[in-house]
Structure 1
Amino acid sequence: MQDADESRQTGFLTVPFFVVCTFYFLVFAAGYQLFPVVPLRLREFGASLAESGRFQTAFMLGSGFGALVTGPLGDRLGPRRVLRVATLAVVGILLIYALLRVRWVFYLLAPLHGLLWSALRTASVAKVGGILPLAHRAQGLSIFGLTGPGGVAVGPLVGLWLMPHLGFSWMLVLLAGVFVALHLLIGFLPREESREIESVGLFQWPDRSVWGAVAVMGLVGLSFGPMPPYSAQEAKALGMAWPSAFLTCFALGMMAMRGLLALTGMGRRPVALLPWMAALTALGYGLLALLPGGLVRHLSSGLVYGAGYGMVHTLMLTHVMETTPPHRRGAATGAFFFAFDATTALGALGLGWVMQRAGFRWGWAIGAGLIALCIPVAHRVVRRPAVTSLSAPSVIVDG
Structure 2
Amino acid sequence: MSRPRLLTRGFLLVWALTFVTFFAAFQLFPTVPLRLRELGASLAESGRFMSLFTAGSALGALFTGALGDRLGHRRLVVVSALLFALFLGAYGGLSVRWGFYVLAFPHGIVWSGLLTATMASLSQVLPEDRRADGLSLYGLASPGGVIVGPVLGLWIQQRWGFAPIGWYLAALFVLLGALGSVLPKDHPHGRAKGFQWPGKAVLIPSLVFFCVALGYGALGSYTAQEGLALGLPLPSAFLSCMALGMVLMRVIMLRRGFGTRPIRLLPAMLSTALGGLVLLALLPGGTLRHVASALVYGAGYSMIHTLINAKLLESADPQRRGSAFGALLFAFDSGIGLGSFALGWVIGHSGYRAGWALGALAVAASLPLARRLSRS
Q: 1:304 to 1:327 in 2, by over 3 A?
A: same
Counterpart in the other structure of 2:14:
20
Say if 2:238 is the partner of 1:254: no
Distance in 2 (CA, whole Å) between partners of 1:120 and 1:355 is 31
Q: 1:209 to 1:16 in 2, by over 3 A?
A: closer
Deviations 1:50-102 (A, max 9, x none): 11001111111111122212222122222222222112211111111001011
Distance in 1 (CA, whole Å) between partners of 2:275 and 2:207 is 20
Counterpart in the other structure of 1:223:
215
Deviations 1:134-189 (A, max 9, x none): 68876654433211121121211111111112211012111111112222333444
- In the TM superposition, residue 199 of structure 1 has moved relative to its aligned partner by 2.9
- In the TM superposition, residue 317 of structure 1 has moved relative to its aligned partner by 2.6
Equivalenced residue count is 373
Q: 1:294 to 1:193 in 2, by over 3 A?
A: closer
Distance in 2 (CA, whole Å) between partners of 1:210 and 1:135 is 21
TM-score, normalised via structure 1 length: 0.86
Q: What is the root-mean-square deviation in Å for CA atoms of aligned residues?
A: 2.4
Q: Which moved more, 1:258-267 or 1:51-60?
A: 258-267
- In the TM superposition, residue 209 of structure 1 has moved relative to its aligned partner by 3.9
3-state DSSP of counterpart to 2:123: helix
Counterpart in the other structure of 1:93:
87
Distance in 2 (CA, whole Å) between partners of 1:300 and 1:36 is 20
Q: 1:102 to 1:243 in 2, by over 3 A?
A: same
Distance in 1 (CA, whole Å) between partners of 2:192 and 2:318 is 15
Which of 326, 329, 335 lines up with 1:334 in the alignment?
Answer: 326
Q: 1:328 to 1:159 in 2, by over 3 A?
A: same
Deviations 1:225-266 (A, max 9, x none): 000000000000000010111011111111111221121112
The one-letter code matched in structure 1 to 2:80 is A
Conserved? CA contact 2:136–2:306, under 8 Å = no
- In the TM superposition, residue 130 of structure 1 has moved relative to its aligned partner by 3.1
TM-score, normalised via structure 2 length: 0.91
Say if 2:164 is the partner of 1:170: yes
Deviations 1:327-386 (A, max 9, x none): 665544322221111111000000100000111111111111221222233223223x2x
- In the TM superposition, residue 320 of structure 1 has moved relative to its aligned partner by 3.5
Counterpart in the other structure of 2:179:
185
Distance in 1 (CA, whole Å) between partners of 2:60 and 2:136 is 26
Which of 350, 356, 370 lines up with 1:358 in the alignment?
Answer: 350
Counterpart in the other structure of 1:64:
58
Which of 301, 304, 307 lines up with 2:299 in the alignment?
Answer: 307
3-state DSSP of counterpart to 2:232: coil
Structure 1 unpaired stretches of 5+: 1-9, 386-399
The one-letter code matched in structure 2 to 1:258 is R
Distance in 2 (CA, whole Å) between partners of 1:74 and 1:11 is 27
Q: 1:321 to 1:177 in 2, by over 3 A?
A: closer
Structure 2 unpaired stretches of 5+: none
Which of 336, 344, 347 lines up with 2:339 in the alignment?
Answer: 347
Higher Cα Rg, which structure:
1
3-state DSSP of counterpart to 1:253: helix
Q: Percent identity?
A: 48
- In the TM superposition, residue 287 of structure 1 has moved relative to its aligned partner by 0.4
